[in-house]
Amino acid sequence: MQAAPAVRRTRPAQPTLPTLQAAARPEKGGPTMTEEWMPAAGWEGLYEVSDQGRVRSVERRVHYTRMGFDETRRVPARIKKPTPHPLTGHLYVHLYRNNVRSAVKVHHLVLVTFVGPCPLGMEGCHANDVADDNRLENLRWDTHIENCKDRSRNRAPATHCGRNHEFTQENTMRLKGGKRRCRKCHNETQRAGKRRAREAA
């Protein structure tokens, strides 16, 4: 009886390092995770907003009058480029309706769309206090007091006082409530007060 030919087993090819790196690399300019889009509340049919804090226009045709003639043009879908507020850093997008431009806060648009209208007496809060991080998981409606608490929790301890004196162990006064005070500034204030008292006498 003739023996059956031996079957040669081969190990499946393993992906190379460049292949793994390419698979793990996110698309350039795009989000790094699944992104959910919804019609922007109050701007349905015109704009959409995602749970990652991005806003895009909806492809549509716009009717307008030019030199007495009715014309139509196509508005393509595109991601809106936000503008940071010069003081707060909050991101705004300019949205158009009937040729009227409106500046809208991105984090408000995300919250109104995915959570609902702002309750009375509340405001949009960033959990990590990063003004341009408008991911839904980082946002919530809450009171102004809680918003201030976020800032306190996320603020890194200052290394210098307002007059640029370093908070060393010798130069730090501990006050009630855990607050700190610059000892050098305190001493200078005390001396200035005594000097004014002598001059007034």
Confidence band for 160, pLDDT divided at 50, 70 and 90 = confident
pLDDT (average), residues 99-109? 94
Q: What is the pLDDT of residue 149?
A: 83
DSSP H or E segment with residue 96: strand 91-97
User: Of 91, 103, 109, which Cα lies nearest the Cα of 44?
Assistant: 109
- Is the pLDDT confidence value at 30 over 60? no
